[in-house]
Amino acid sequence: MTNTAVGVAQVRGPGDPPPPRARWRRPMAIGLGVLAVLLVGVLVAPWLLPGGDAETPPPAGTSAPAASPGVAVSKDGEVPTRWPDATNTGVPDGVTLTKVESLDLVTDGEVVTGLDIDGCVDVKAKNVTIRQSRITCDRKTWAVRTYDTTRNLVLEDVEIDGSGVNSTAVCCDNYTLRRVEVRNVIDGPRLGNNTAVVDSWIHDLARGDNSHNDALQTTGGVSIVVKHNRLDLYDKATSDPFNACIMVGSTTSPLVRDLVFEDNYCNGGNYSVGIRDDLKAQSVTFRRNVFGRDFRYGVVARPDHPGITWTDTNLWADTRKPVLDE
């Protein structure tokens, strides 16, 4: 019998040879094999390939580490010889600023840049960046305030002017300052949980009635980094040393833990580094800092306080010798 085409089908008679094996099976098997290899690659590659955003999962029974405050610290290194000043902090030369009033930032991931803010800034969102801007705030509390909803606020190349009345430049948790100039405030930034101040310049504090001005202050917090800043506390015009380059206490939180103060220049203060006698501290480290002599009483109060590590790499600016050797 002759095969007769019926549409797209074929009819086979009893005397006809058997049909050839289906030719689609081999290509399909090959395709499935390739697909399997690709799937395995997608699943395995993040753990085998270097770089990228993938991270090795934490071991079972543990949680992933908290977000970095924004800067790496190092146990080893050379004591610096140069620090930030007017040439490398604040708004860079040539940047044109747009005048605006106070800001209330509530959008996650928002980037604010090139603004002359005549007012104060409240940040209530995650991953907000304020860049190349000037903040002139006359509020008697904070120039920049974070809230419970704030995470990973970053200020870069920003100037903060407290108008002589601002009690605290930045308060209080979950922020990083990079190349920020702070001036004309009663106190500089308040260091709470997950905070970092890096490559910044704090100077010309505003003396108020009965004020105890600190360039930096913590009253409690965890994961605090203060690295490579110029803390010019002493006022030459009035011979006023103010209170401290950094005051460390635990008056509003149970303790201060994992604070690193390294590579900074500090001049002034009753004690340049004030450590309260009631401080509860764990892993608080001072290393590779350089100190001027324009203090009232001394460089550091209570360097042997429990939980404090004070290394012999903390040096005088003039002799480059350890400050506690004299």
pLDDT tens per residue, the chain (326 residues)?
A: 333 333 333 333 434 444 444 444 444 444 545 444 344 343 333 333 333 333 333 333 322 223 334 678 989 999 999 999 999 999 999 999 999 999 999 999 999 999 999 999 999 999 999 999 999 999 999 999 999 999 999 999 999 999 999 999 999 999 999 999 999 999 999 999 999 999 999 999 999 888 999 999 999 999 999 999 999 999 999 999 999 999 999 999 999 999 999 999 999 999 999 999 999 999 999 999 999 999 999 999 999 999 999 999 999 999 999 999 97
Phi, psi of 218 (to 5 degrees): -125, 135
Domain boundaries, the chain: 88-208, 212-224+233-326
Side-chain-facing half-sphere of 76: CA atoms under 13 Å: 0
Residue 317 CA to residue 326 CA, distance in Å, equals 13
Residue 241 CA to residue 244 CA, distance in Å, equals 8
* pTM: predicted TM-score of the whole model, two decimal places: 0.79
Residue 277 CA to residue 9 CA, distance in Å, equals 96
Judge whether 268 and 295 are in contact, CB under 8 Å. Answer: yes
**Residue 27 CB partners (closer than 8 Å, separation 6+):** none
Residue 311 CA to residue 247 CA, distance in Å, equals 18
Judge whether 108 and 133 are in contact, CB under 8 Å. Answer: no
Per the structure block, which two tokens stand in for 58? 């934490």
